[in-house]
Amino acid sequence: MHAVVCLKQVPDTTEVKIDPSTGTLVRAGVPSIVNPYDAHALEAALRLKDQFGGKVTVVSMGPPQASQALKKAVSLGADEAILLTDRVFAGSDTLATSYILTQALLKLAEKDPIDVVFCGKMAIDGDTGQVGPGIATRLDYEQLTYVSDIGKLDAEKREITVWRALGDGKEQVKTRLPALLTVTDEVNDVRYGSFPDQVRAARYEPITWTKDDLHLDLARCGLKGSPTTVSKVFTPQARVKRQTDLIPDGLEKPGEAAEAMAAKLFGLPPVKKGIAEGRALAKEVAGR
C-alpha cells in the first residue's frame, strides 16, 4: 500500500499580511506549522500503513523552510518526504499548485504506483478546498471529499468505503482505488511521534525537486500560471455590539408574548394597554 500525503506549511498566526504588489501571503518572519487538516490526512495514511504495510510519502510545495513541515511528518512516521521548491513556483494559486503537485505525483507513481492520495479538506491560510479535487481531476482518480470517517479498505478488491460529512448529516460512499481523499478534522486523532521516528526526523533531509526534476509547462506555474487575482485586501470592520432584549418570563399565552415582542420591535403599546388608553380617551371626550 503506497499512500501519498499532500501537505502544506501555513502561517501560525491570525496576523496574516499580504504583499500589496502580488496579492500573495507574506511568509517571512511568520511562525509556521503543518496545516492542521493535512496533519489529519497524514494520520489517515499512517493508519493504512499500520493495517496493510507499505509506505507513506509526503509531498509539499513551498519555500526551503517548508522542509521543517516535512521533517515534522517524518517524526510522526512518514517514510519519505519530498519538497517541491523553485522560484518558478512562487505565487502559484490553487490551479497552478494542483498542476505542479500532479506532475510530482506522476513522477512518484513511475517508481512506486500510488494507491491512495490524502489531502486536508483545505488550508487554513486560503480556505479554498480546491487543490485536492484539482489533483484528482488531473490524475483521473476517484475523489472523495470531506471524509470524516474511513470505514473500510478492501485491499484485494481495491475498494475503499468512507463517510462524507454533509451540511446536515453524513453519507456513506464506496469507490475503487486509486483514489484521492480530502479529510476533515473528525476523521481521526493525530498521534504523537515515537522516539525512534523523532530521532530519524532530526537527521532526515527531505528530497528536493525543482522545476528541472519535473515535466512541467512553465507557463502553467507560479504567477504566470495563476489566473486568480487579488483585487483588494482589507480588514473587515468589527461588528457592532447589538443590544439583546429578552421576552420576560411569565407570558405563557402566545398572544401576550406577541404583544410584548411587538412593543419591543415597533414601539407599539400592548393591546390591552392600548384599549385601556382608548377607553380613557373616550370618557374624556364624552365628559367635555
How confident is the model over 230-258, as pLDDT tens digits?
Answer: 777 666 777 777 777 777 666 667 777 77
* 271-286 and 254-266 helices, crossing angle to 10°: 80
Question: Which of the two residues, 18 and 201, has the higher pLDDT score?
Answer: 201
What is the amino acid identity at position 74?
V
Confidence at residue 72, expressed as pLDDT on a 0 to 100 scale: 96
- pLDDT-based confidence at 275, cuts 50/70/90? low
Confidence at residue 288, expressed as pLDDT on a 0 to 100 scale: 62
- pLDDT-based confidence at 83, cuts 50/70/90? very high
Percent of the chain past pLDDT 70, that is, above it, reads: 85
Whether pLDDT at 271 is above 80: no
* Out of 95-109, 171-185, 215-229, least confident range: 215-229
Question: Which of the two residues, 274 and 237, has the higher pLDDT score?
Answer: 237
At 121-132, the pLDDT tens digits run: 988 887 788 999
C-alpha cell belonging to residue 245: 432584549
What are φ and ψ of residue 255, in 5° steps?
-65, -40
Q: In the predicted model, what is the mean pLDDT of residues 266-276?
A: 62
